[in-house]
Structure 1
Amino acid sequence: MRLFGRKDADDDGDGEPLGDGIAEFWTWWQEARPRLDSLVAAGDPAGLEDLLAPAVAAVDPGLVWEVAPGRNAAHALVVTSAGDAELRPLAHRWAKSAPDSDLLWEFHPSRQANSQALELTLDVGGYEFALDKLMLGLRVPRDAPRVDVAAYHPIFGELDEDTRMETTLLALDWLLGEDDVARWVGEITAATFEPIDAVAAAHLPAVVADLASGFDEEQWVLLEGQTAGGAPLIATARYPLRPVDHPLFDQHIAIALPYAHRDEAGLPIGESLAALRDFEERLAARLLKLRDDAVLAAHLSAEGQRVIHVYADPTGDAAIHAKELIVSWEEGEPRVDVTSDPAWAAVVPFIT
């Protein structure tokens, strides 16, 4: 199993993607498939790299790719953003456009958990990295939907810091799958000494499954804070809130509703509070019908205005529905702003 990616990818010299590339990639794939099959059968990773690297780079030079054992097929082609939130939607659209899997190939936009992970051995800087010797210190911070991981392996003392971390991240991807690492793993350290109370890496999936079981149902959290100018602010956010759960929702829809009735702190009261609740109920009803295309992420109120943050698939109709709904708003001039925001930068303070 070899990993390829950004450092090997060709680009146009200025870091910009070479066009859309997704449709072109799959056209190229069908044409190159006989050659790719022959290279895999021959066990020729260098030949695969020469053929695949430019094709993946044409989609975006920042994408990382690897050929790994498949779940149902013999091989899996993985093209991933490798944690880059800006590129995650692109990787998922690449996979969504893929041909049907067959006996030889399947396709994934992120590294998948490997059921034989503990049997894997990797050459790292000339040292043997066996996953069955990996030990983990695990800590779940109080009331946090993540587990912090301190990883230790006997060879880590021989490796530089960057190589230790890269190896740790790859091991976690094999143990949990890349998306579950993004969902449930918090702070990651690669230690040169075994942490106190460390457990074998084999226990990590069970710890994460136990943590995740507490968030099976939709939850929301009420937050209080201040604006940049020091005015009181209240917010309600989905909890946990994570872009990885909605990888195709890279369109940000901000609905701004000014309200007339507010207290001394600028927060909504009385008729305005009732009107805001009614608007959000109608919005939620629309989004329920669009649940495969949009999600309400958070809303916040301050200084006489409520801003509702929705993320959506730009190929859907969520923005149209939002613009239709604000027509009925009677307290001031409402506004809907629609932008591209694959990293969910507008709601970073609420991401958990």
Structure 2
Amino acid sequence: MRLFGRRNEPGEPAQVIAGFWAWWAEARPRIDALLESGDATGLAEELAPAVAALDPGLLWDIAPGGTARQALVVSAAGDPELRPLAHRWALAAPPVDAVWEFHPSRQANPGAIELTLDVGGREFALDKLVLGLRVPKGTPRIDVTAYHPIFPDLVDETRTEAAVLALDWLLGEDEVARWVGDIVAATFQPLDAVPAVHLPAVVADLASEYPQDQWALMEGQTSGGARLIATARYPLRPVDHPLFDQHIAITLPYAEAGDDGLPAGGSAAALREFEERLADRIDRLGGTAVLAVHVSSEGTRVLHVYADPSSDAATRVGELAASWKEGSPGVEVAADPGWIAISPFLS
């Protein structure tokens, strides 16, 4: 079931999450009875308003479980702004039992290729789905053109929803967010198309080319034409850190700069030392923050840290920034679940 709730004003995440799980405890006997009887309409009437109360943009689904009989999935549906809420919802869930487990995104289904569902009154069987796959040079993503014999008979929106759902079944929703780029649901079969069952192997091959802890060095210009350099984690994706929705921007003015405004001499050394101290401090936070990007231009370096707001990362980073000696440092803290502040560097 993929139902949109009615638009309302959600409350604070902790409050609405606690409210959902209090409701679940009270409604569980009714939900189990509806599940047992196969009453999909009744399940929708129970679950849709409760999920909409979390946030109207969330989607929900009931799928086969891994260890439990069923899984309740509450998904951000690819919206990075909602992903932290979905993950916090799942973290607050009750323990898995024989009937229910809980996930913040659709999980890959090992038997996906055998699945069939009704799409627009037509039978959508994944064993008839084929994919055209293209990896743009130098990018950590696969562009997918999907084709199924029923696609020419469907409207664009329905065709695209079916293609995205199929990819979620094949890879898992988070893996789609990590590795899939453009998705086109085509009305004709692409050249060199392969059966959809091969997609997980192709993604695994691509992922093997991008180990963790890589950094990319980029150069550019500011809006005023000054030289700019940036160093960013690569690949850099919010889906890898779903709870890090607090943006901490550290601004460090440096005293020694070359003619191009970039750090030189003692300032370059001081910035390297500061970054090492920052990395050590982040390590001590126990996996609750990450240095994503730093940008230097016109006598200033800005370091972008993303953190779980339940940690004391902002305090620790602020204390470190206060030790900077070359001018007055600045620290700004804001909510940024979509990592909008560093969107040009996302990969």
Report the TM range for the smaller structure's normalisation: over 0.9
Shift of 1:217: 3.1
Q: C-alpha separation between the residues in 2 aligned to 1:10 and 1:305?
A: 46
Shift of 1:213: 1.1
SS in 1 for 2:136: coil
- Is 1:332 matched up with 2:331? no
Shift of 1:118: 0.7
CA gap of 1:291–1:224, structure 2 versus 1, over 3 A, is: farther
Shift of 1:291: 4.3
Shift of 1:58: 1.1
Counterpart for residue 210 of structure 2: 215
Instruction: Report how many aligned residue pairs link the two structures.
Output: 345
Counterpart for residue 102 of structure 1: 97
Deviations 1:149-188 (A, max 9, x none): 0100001110111111111000000000000000000111
- Is 1:17 matched up with 2:10? yes
The match for 2:258 among 234, 254, 263 is 263
SS in 2 for 1:83: coil
RMSD after superposition? 0.9
Counterpart for residue 285 of structure 1: 280
Matches within 5 A, 1:240-251: 240-251=235-246
Counterpart for residue 51 of structure 1: 46
Residue pair 1:11, 1:18 contacting (<8 A) in 2 also: no
User: What amino acid does structure 1 have at the position aligned with 2:272?
Assistant: R
Shift of 1:214: 1.5
Please say which of residues 158-167 and 306-315 is displaced more in the overlay: 158-167
SS in 2 for 1:215: coil
% identity of equivalent residues: 66
User: What amino acid does structure 2 have at the position aligned with 1:182?
Assistant: A
Q: 4+ runs of 1 displaced by more than 2 Å?
A: none
Counterpart for residue 115 of structure 1: 110
Shift of 1:10: 3.0
Shift of 1:97: 0.4
TM-score scaled by length of structure 2: 0.98
Q: C-alpha separation between the residues in 1 aligned to 2:102 and 2:88?
A: 12
Q: C-alpha separation between the residues in 1 aligned to 2:213 and 2:263?
A: 25
TM-score scaled by length of structure 1: 0.96
Structure 2 stretches lacking a partner, 5+ long: none
Q: C-alpha separation between the residues in 1 aligned to 2:223 and 2:82?
A: 30
Counterpart for residue 75 of structure 2: 80
Deviations 1:234-256 (A, max 9, x none): 00000000000000000000000
User: What amino acid does structure 2 have at the position aligned with 1:3?
Assistant: R
Q: C-alpha separation between the residues in 1 aligned to 2:342 and 2:58?
A: 24
Structure 1 stretches lacking a partner, 5+ long: none
SS in 2 for 1:309: strand
SS in 2 for 1:3: coil
SS in 2 for 1:325: helix
Q: C-alpha separation between the residues in 1 aligned to 2:286 and 2:227?
A: 32
